[in-house]
Amino acid sequence: MDQLVRWLNVLERGDWDVRQTACRALAALGPEAAPSLIERLAHPSHEVRWLAGRVLEQLGEGRLARAVVDALKGTESGPMSLRNLIADGDLRAVPLLMRRLADSSPESRTARDAAYRALSSIAGPPIAPFLIESLERPKADGQQTMICRILGKAKDPRAIKPLLRQMHSYDWGTREAASQALVAIAFASPTPQGADEERNEARQPENGSPLNIRQEIVLPLIAMLPNASAAVRQSACEALGQLEDREAVLPLIARLEDGQPEVCRTAAGALEMLGDLRAVGPLFARLEDADEGVLQAVKSALDALTMPLEPYLQTGLCGECFSRLERTALERSFLSDSLSAVACRKCRRADAVLYDISYVVAVLNERMEKTFSAVNEIVSVNWLRHRQLFDFDEVYIIRASDEEVERFCVQVGNDTNPYRQGLYRKMRCVLPPSGSLSGNTVRILRSLFGEVETATD
């Protein structure tokens, strides 16, 4: 053992001729020297690695030695040799490469970069435990970032919890790398049986993250949104947008009110990626934001989210306030020459649109229990239930008291909406055949609507 230690020291520190002597002496020691020489394959000096590899060739470990030495030298053959070792179940090269990855000294930068490329080339479940273990220990500068990136290529679900912990890192690069790795793992994971149907019910996009990942990745990221650190909130918003899971929509909408502009901006971008129309109303509310970055992100999101509604400008109807859709021109943005948003004229929502509605009837009927009914392309809205004005094309009074009809008439008479004001005098109003309305009520109706007639039995 004393001879082994002595010759190893000579191998590392002697001049060239003395090192050659050390190589011969170590080879003469036989298999006893192999473990220590394998450790020297991770030495900071390429010369020491190469000499150790020469001795290992003689001891029957040439395959491992060539793979590690070539990989750390950055040759093209290194990654292929490593993959062949991994395929045969030989993982001894991995901790050696990890040691070089942990060395942040300037003189080791070339070997460190080569170790990163080599590990990336063999990223997969077999090496994931080494990466995860290393991620949980204190590291040299930048090592967490590199490990997170490699784990993203490995796509191993065992890395989820360690990566989530890295989302709290003070280093932006580490958080970004952890975020991208989590997204990669989510989309690489198989969808459980029956998940497609459940996802459709939740209005998930076809390429949304599988439901078995939601509990492990999406919900912990949502839990980070109220975090005290704005940087963590921002990173969580970005990851949730890329994961395309609708579970995140409402929590991200809440972040539009975040006190930090960068968080608001990222939340708006995430909502644009999610493509959920529930975000349109809250995004409209931020159009007066003083921060230019937030404002541009909001405009971009509104334009992208509501673009599919363009074909329904004439036939779309808000299912909440029963107003027609309207295109709102947004100010010129550096993101696009022309931005606009399509949403309900009144409430600015776009998540409850009734499509292909050509005609709307304002009905006054005490016996109609529902607020509205739709038959083919015609919607009948019961004002007695809705109690607010909406966009309609005809009035049909079936069963209502004079008092209720006159309240309806007061709203119509006081309507300042320019869209509807010019339509009332051209509109037909149908009265019940029983003559149940008083003469005064009928006179009021005639003063408001263009054509007032009584329905036939």
One-letter identity of residue 125: P
The reply to whether 3 falls in a domain is yes
Please give the model's pTM, rounded to 2 decimal places: 0.84
Alpha carbons 68 and 203: distance in angstroms, whole number: 49
Strand partners, 317: 324, 354
Per the domain annotation, does 96 fall within a domain? yes
The answer to whether 51 touches 14, Cβ cutoff 8 Å, is: no
Residue 370's SS3 state is coil
Determine the pLDDT at residue 197.
43
Low-confidence ranges of the chain (pLDDT < 70): 1, 138-140, 190-211, 332-337, 457
Q: What whole-number distance in Å separates Cα of residue 143 and Cα of residue 7?
A: 32
pLDDT score, position 337: 57
Q: Where are the beta strands (DSSP E) in 43-194?
A: none
What pairing do the DSSP bridges indicate for beta strands 372-375 and 339-344?
A: unpaired
318 lies in some domain: no
Examine the fold and report which residue of 84, 100, 122 is the final residue of a domain before the chain moves on.
Answer: 122
Of the candidates 259, 319, 253, the residue with the CA atom closest to the CA atom of residue 289: 259
pLDDT in tens, 283-306: 999 998 888 999 999 999 999 999
Residue 214: inside a domain = no
Question: Which of 122, 143, 175 delimits the end of a domain?
Answer: 122
Side chain identity, residue 315: T
The domain boundary residue, chosen from 73, 94, 122: 122
Three-state secondary structure call for residue 229: coil
The 378-382 sheet, strands edge to edge: 372-375, 378-382, 359-365, 394-399, 428-431, 451-454
Structure tokens belonging to residue 82: 């490593």
Structural domains in the chain (count) = 2
Instruction: Tell me whether strands 317-318 and 372-375 are parallel, antiparallel or unpaired.
Output: unpaired
Phi, psi of 363 (to 5 degrees): -105, 140
Q: What is the pLDDT of residue 384?
A: 97
Residue 39 placed within a domain = yes
The answer to whether 132 touches 162, Cβ cutoff 8 Å, is: yes
Has residue 399 been placed in a domain? yes
Assess contact for 11 and 22: CB atoms under 8 A. yes
Structural domain contains residue 338: no
pLDDT confidence of residue 419: 86
> What domain range includes position 103?
1-122
Q: What is the structure's pLDDT at 182? A: 95
Q: What is the pLDDT of residues 104-114, one digit of tens each?
A: 888 888 999 99
Q: Are 361 and 378 in contact (CB under 8 A)?
A: yes
Question: Taking Cα atoms as reference points, which of 38, 37, 34, 42 lies closest to residue 10?
Answer: 37
Look up residue 186 and give its amino acid.
A
CA proximity to 281, closest of 301, 259, 260, 310: 301
Residue 79 resides in a domain:
yes
Whole-angstrom distance, CA of residue 23 vs CA of residue 8: 9
